[in-house]
Amino acid sequence: MADFLDPVASQMSDETFLLLRDLIYEHSGIYFSDNKKAQLENRLSLRLKANNLPDYDKYYYMLKYDPQASRELKALFDSVTTNETSFFRSPPQIQAFQEKALPEIIQHRLEKGEKVLRLWSAGCSTGDEPYTMGIILKEVLKDRLSEWDVKIYASDISEKALKSARASTYNEYTLRSVPPEIKKNYFIQNGPLFTVCDEIRSLVELQYLNFNDAKRVKLMRGFDIIFCRNVLIYFDDAAKKNFVAQLYDNLNPGGYLFIGHSESLHNISRAFKLVHFPGALGYKKE
């Protein structure tokens, strides 16, 4: 019966949704499309409770006008970022990588007579992303893969995540977007668990890296493609600008940067060319 006495979580009106969406986009570059309203409402309901606020309007005004708002913004970003990661996450981006960016770079390399590819999964978490990149490299190059000097660097700040990545063993849920034949060809099943096969594992080099360590980040040079998805949200604007400028320098000319599916560099960098792919965006260094 206690539930009955609790303040009933208020509904987010369409107007408040638009205000919050603009505010979040302005501060984080993350965009919530109309069909994500329920998701945002759900995530923010916890922030409402934490701040003891009766409705989303009050929450918006707090963010907008309270001098202490920057602290709450951090908490808000944490709550709207999914810490979840999975194989073949955001399929249109993966498809853009597989069908457009990668073939373009391979072609470019072949013309120069260099069979070298350097990829970086910046913020690789438990390894789903770099192994996905490895699988796709194999799918694109097929038997020719062995003729190439390929390395996928995968870095993260969490030792715990890196440990999972090293174990490279996943459950069915993490593999939910993986097509059946990919699952069959690249994973070894052991009961309910799936381990990435050695051929793919050998392409990936895992390492600890703190993005605030500017010297070490600078050393990550000569990349053809960088995935840095849903990482930027953890930086403030100035740090974001520095880090993205560094990523630009880390890329080879003609290389691509992919950030989170609904992340934007609009106010962060003008150095890249924005490329539209079907259902996804990429940033190209010319």
Partner 1 sequence: MNSRVLDIIKGIDDIPTLPSVAMEVMDLTRSAEVSIREISECIHKDPALAMRVLRMANSSFYRRGSKEIDTIHRAILMMGLNEVVNIATSVSVLSILNPKNDERESLRRKLCNHCIATALIARYMDKKIHLRAQGREFVGGLLHDIGKIIFDEYFHDRFLEAHELSIRKDCPMFEAEKEVIGATHMDVGSFLAQKWKLPPYLADIILNHHNPADAQLKDITALISIANLLAKAREISCGGDTISFVLKDQGAWLILKKLGHPMDTLDLERITFEMEDIGQEVQKYISTVLDQPSEGNADG
3-state secondary structure of 280: strand
136: Cβ contacts below 8 Å, ≥ 6 apart? 94, 97, 98, 102
Among 112, 113, 107, 131, which residue's Cα sits nearest to residue 121? 131
Is 214 a residue that touches partner 1 (CB under 8 A)?
no
Q: Is 33 a residue that touches partner 1 (CB under 8 A)?
A: yes
Catalytic residue among 89, 156, 224, 229: 156
* 274 scored as a contact of partner 1 (CB under 8 A): yes
Q: How far is the CB of 248 from partner 1 (least distance, A)?
A: 16
24 binds partner 1 (CB under 8 A): no
List binders of partner 1 among 59-98 (CB under 8 A).
96
Three-class SS of residue 174? coil
d(CA 47, CA 52): 8
241 binds partner 1 (CB under 8 A): no
Instruction: Work out which of 1, 3, 35, 112 binds partner 1, going by CB under 8 A.
Output: 35
- Nearer to partner 1 by Cβ, of 204 and 265: the residue is 265
Is 156 labeled as catalytic in the residue annotation?
A: yes
Q: Is the dihedral of CA 14, 17, 19, 21 positive or negative?
A: negative
Please, which residue, 145 or 254, has the CB nearer to partner 1? Answer: 254
Is there binding between residue 265 and partner 1 (CB under 8 A)? yes
284 contributes a contact to partner 1 by CB under 8 A: yes
E strand intervals along 140-248? 149-156, 169-171, 187-190, 193-196, 204-208, 223-228
Total residues in contact with partner 1, by rule CB under 8 A:
22
Residue nearer to partner 1 on the CB measure, 51 or 177: 177
| By CB under 8 A, residue 273 contacts partner 1 | yes
Task: Select the span of 43-51, 76-84, 148-156, 270-278 touching partner 1 (CB under 8 A).
Answer: 270-278
| C-beta of residue 285 within 8 angstroms of C-beta of residue 247 | no
Judged by CB under 8 A, does residue 262 bind partner 1?
yes
Active site residue 43: yes
| Measured CA distances, 73 to 13, 41, 47, 80, 150 (Å) | 20, 15, 10, 10, 40
Exposure on the CB side of residue 264, measured as CA atoms within 13 A: 12
Output the smallest distance, CB 165 to partner 1, in A.
30
Residue 44, CA distances (Å) to 37, 71, 73, 136 in order? 11, 15, 11, 36
Active site residues: 43, 156
Q: Which residues bind partner 1 (CB under 8 A)?
A: 25, 29, 31, 33-35, 96, 99-100, 262, 264-266, 273-279, 281, 284
